[in-house]
Chain A
């Protein structure tokens, strides 16, 4: 269990403590989120096994979770991963053009990572920011009212590793 340092164990123990005794499986999603963050944005088999061992769960149950929920990635992502919404309300406001502009500006397709490892993007379903559509999310920040131009500017800004 070399992935789980004493600090991490303390963090994980605190998460598990939120749930009743015998229901440690509940901690799977929060622990996988934490693991993925430590893993630089994606989960390896080792990560999943570490969570499984920590919670005394079979690997099958952890892998079922990582392959079911879209926030978990088993493939490498860019240091800044952009989720651009494709669902109807954003699409009605022009998300298709925004996505095209994003892809062109980054020079990669969905699910691919830029050569410098900085960016990747994917189309996601409704992010519940429909009044601001089109939107995209990077980390915990949501950018709305996007146009192809403002999208390109956003990438410029994010490239400088600063956030507007």
Chain B
């Protein structure tokens, strides 16, 4: 596997980079200076040419999204989605804690390219540390003239403010984030209209993920060709992946975008624990369909995983070894989606909860024939019929777990017993009151 030069995580072991001067010493704010001398459209075209895919989960080409921004004399906004919450995902938190100025530089370049003067960084409420560190960096950026009325002495004006979340996964959905920023419940909004035309406070808005923006200075510095060379066709650059669960070396890593899942698990993360074999792996956060051990020779980019019937999503790899009860793993996730459903629309509100209820009955040893097929049918009634994709995020994995491990589900129901998440037999839970 080809060695990967580090860009996004280059400063992660360099505490000096937390300060403005340290960041500059590491090569920072050169891209911003260069960008300020370019034409805004040039920058957008460059990001398009660099095939920067949105790293929040959807993988939508960032340059194309930028191109959608509505034209207006009035205010426009950039909202940074730092509401990292997709189970398995650890990248935006470290990016903010270890290299906040990188993100700020990306924000400034993006705002300059888009003619945006106002940026809100929506940081997950639980991220106290990241919030403190980013606020300090923003304050310093102001003090050094990187933010404020004359960015780096140019005529470009930019204000950045931080905004905390309150604890809700749904605020990672871009319009849920906007509703939350507006001071309301994190209810996703009806689309159309799309945020690029009508977003925060009704104004044209771009919502970008932390990592997406952190890539921007590097695209400026490297140019599109070199950035693309680090990835695959239509998926440019390096990528951060977090690998967790049953591997020797869990953690977040920056590698080429062209790495395979097998390489990630076995070469980068040291493979399985002693005596264990792989049973299943989720490639892109809990909302992505699961892959079998036979399916891990797939490139970890958006398009390759899409073709394989799953998704890269937030690039969060959850590894499950042969101890794992897939039935219990799904049950764990169904609780998650039921708990995090905002409740606004019928299929998601009722469907996620119903799926969890059936799953609970099964894991408590009270499953019946027909339960598993019923879960599949409920998923069918959820997918595509809701305001946002949380319903799909619950339903599509559910269908994949059941379809790929059907025998295990059937056996669990037939057995009538209780098996723990890590394969241990358990006492049956007390009967329902």
Contacts and interface: CB of A to CB of B under 8 A. Distances in A.
Given A26-B163, A92-B318, A130-B250, A125 B184 contact: no
Interface in A2-36: 18-20, 23-30, 32-33
Contact of B332 (A20, A30, A91): A91
Contact of B422 (A61, A87, A92): A92
A135 to B, nearest CB: 11
A55 to B, nearest CB: 8
Interface string B250-261: 111000000000
Contacts of B88: 88-89, 126, 130
Interface residues of B, number: 58
Contact of A88 (B161, B286, B339): B286
Nearest to B128: A140
A114 interface: no
Contacts of A124: 167
Nearest to B77: A20
Nearest to B125: A71
Nearest to A92: B245
Which has the most chain A C-beta neighbours within 10 Å: B88, B183, B286? B183
A64 B88 CA distance: 29
A162 B185 CA distance: 36
Contacts of B85: 125-126, 128
Contacts of A29: 125, 163-166, 180, 183
Contacts of B420: 96
A87 B332 contact: yes
Contact of B87 (A32, A89, A132): A89
A93 B245 contact: yes
Contact of B166 (A55, A57, A72): A72
Interface string A25-60: 111111011000000000000000000000101000
A11 B318 CA distance: 42
Contacts of A70: 166-168
A125 B181 CA distance: 21
Nearest to B127: A128
B86 interface: yes
Given A69-B167, A130-B316, A131-B90, 19 more contacts: A18-B161, A29-B165, A64-B184, A65-B184, A68-B166, A68-B342, A69-B186, A83-B126, A88-B332, A92-B318, A92-B422, A96-B421, A124-B167, A125-B87, A128-B89, A128-B90, A130-B250, A131-B242, A137-B126
